[in-house]
A and B are shown apart, each in its own frame.
Chain A
C-alpha cells in the first residue's frame, strides 16, 4: 500500500486532521482517490494558527472523508484492533498540544470520548470551512481536540471568527469561550431515549457525570425527548446526499488518483472511482444519490430539510427549560476493529448521539467521555460545566 507517513516535528504543537488542507502537504482525507493531491493553499484555521505562532506539526490520519466511526478506515493509516483516531491519540499522549478536525458525522467526537480527551464541535458558521475537504456543507464544522477545556478555549479564540472566503461564515469577529462562568443553578437534562441507546456501563458513566455536576450546584434532571432519532435519520439523508455530490468531483480527470486501465471517459470515471473509494464511501454515494433521485427527493431529501426546521424548533423548546443536554457519545466504552461492509449500518446507529449537533448547527462538547450540547453560541456554558467536572477529576 502506498501509505504516506505523517511528519511530526518535535517542536510541534498542533496536529491537523487530513480532511484539512495545509499548503504543499499531501491531503488525502484518508482516501486513495486523493492520492498525491497537494493543495495550493492552507485552510483559514491553519493560517490563523500559524500567524499566531503555532507550529503545525503534522497531518493526522482520518477515516475516508471522516465518514467512519473513529478513524478506522483510512487508506493510509495502519489497521488497529482498538479504535481511537490518530489526532485524539496524539493529544491524549501529550505529543501535541491540540489538534483540529472536521466533524462531519461525529467521528472526532467519538475519537475524543474513546481517548478521554475533549473535542468541541462549535456552532455552525463560527469557524471558517475554507480549506476543508468538504463533504456536507450544511452541517460539517471544524472543531478542536485538546486535553482540557482551557486548551479548547485557547485554540478556538484563534480560529473562530468571520472569514469572507466562506459564504456560510457568520459575521462576528470573535465569540465567548469562557471556561469559568458560574454554573451553580444551571439546569442540565439527560435524555432518557439516548441513554437507552447505550450499553449499561456507558449509562452508568453518564449518570455519574450528572451526579458530579449536581454536587456543584447544577440541577440535573432526566427528561424524555424523542427528536434525536428523527434528527439522526434526517442528518444521515442530508449528509450522504451532500457527500455524494461533493465527492463526485473526484473522477480521475483533474487530480488525485487515476485508474491505470481505461479505454474511454466512462471507464476512466468508473475504474478510478471503483478503485479510489472504499466500501463505506461507496455506500454513502449510493444512499446519497438515491435520496436525491427524482422520484425519491420529496420523500427523502426534501422531507429531511423540513424535519431539520421542525427539530430545530423542538430543540429550542427543550432548551427553554435547560442550559444544556447531557448525553453519551458512543453506545460502548470501546470499539473493536470490524468489517467495512458493516460500517454504514454501524455508523448510522452510533450517530444517534451526534447527528443533532450537525443537523441544526448547535455546539457539542465532548469531555470526560460524555457529551454536552446547548443552543447556538452557548459554548461558554458547555465549557464551564465541563470545566467543573474536569477540575474535580484532577
Chain B
C-alpha cells in the first residue's frame, strides 16, 4: 500500500508480432517453392508460393519500417559505416534485402517458364536466405538476457518450426483439392506443428521452474487474457488440435479436415507470436 512505482511502456508492440507472423509465412512459402524442385507433388505450388512470398515481403518490410519511430532512417541499417554486427537486427536487415533480391531474380527466372538449373539454384538460395529470417527474428528475442522466455536457445528453432508450419498451412490452402500436394503438405504440417508443441512444452517447463522473474512471467503467460491467447488459442486450439486432426486426416485422407487444421495452425501461430512477444515484456512494466 502507498507504494510509488513508475509505469514504463513495453518496448515492442503488437505490430512486431504481425511482422513475425508475416515473415514466418513467407519463409515457409519459400521452402515450399524450393521443395517443388525436389518433390514433384509440390510442383503446382512453385510459382504461387514464390509470388506470394515476395508480396508478403513487401507487406512485412512496410510493417517493420512503419514500426520505427524514424521510418526513413531504415536506410541507416544498410549503411556499412553504421552497421553494428553485435545486433541481430543488423544481420536481419541485410538478410531481408538479400532475400528480396534473390526472390526477384528467382521470379524473373520462373517467368521464363522452363525448369532450368539456374531456376533450381535460385530457388535454393532464396530458401536458404528465407531460413535466415525466422532464425534472426528468434535471435532478436533470444539475445535479451534479462527477459524470461525470450532468453532461451530454442527461440530461433521455434520460429523456424512455426515458419514451416504456417508456410505449409498457407500452401495447403492454396493447393485446394490437389490430393498429391495435400499429402505432402499434411506431413509437413503435422511434424512441424508437433515440433512446435514439443518446444513450447520445454519453454513452459523451464520457465515455470526458473527464478522469480521466470515464475512471474509463467503466471502472466498462463492466466487472464494472455493465458487465453497463449494457452487457449496458441497451444490448445492452434497446436494440439491441428496435430490431432492431422493425425486423423492421415488415416482418413480428408481434405476438409486438412483445411481446418491449416486454418487452426495459422490462428495458433499468430497467437503464439503475439503472446511470446508481449507476455515476457509485462513483468518489467513496473520495475
Whether chains A and B associate is no
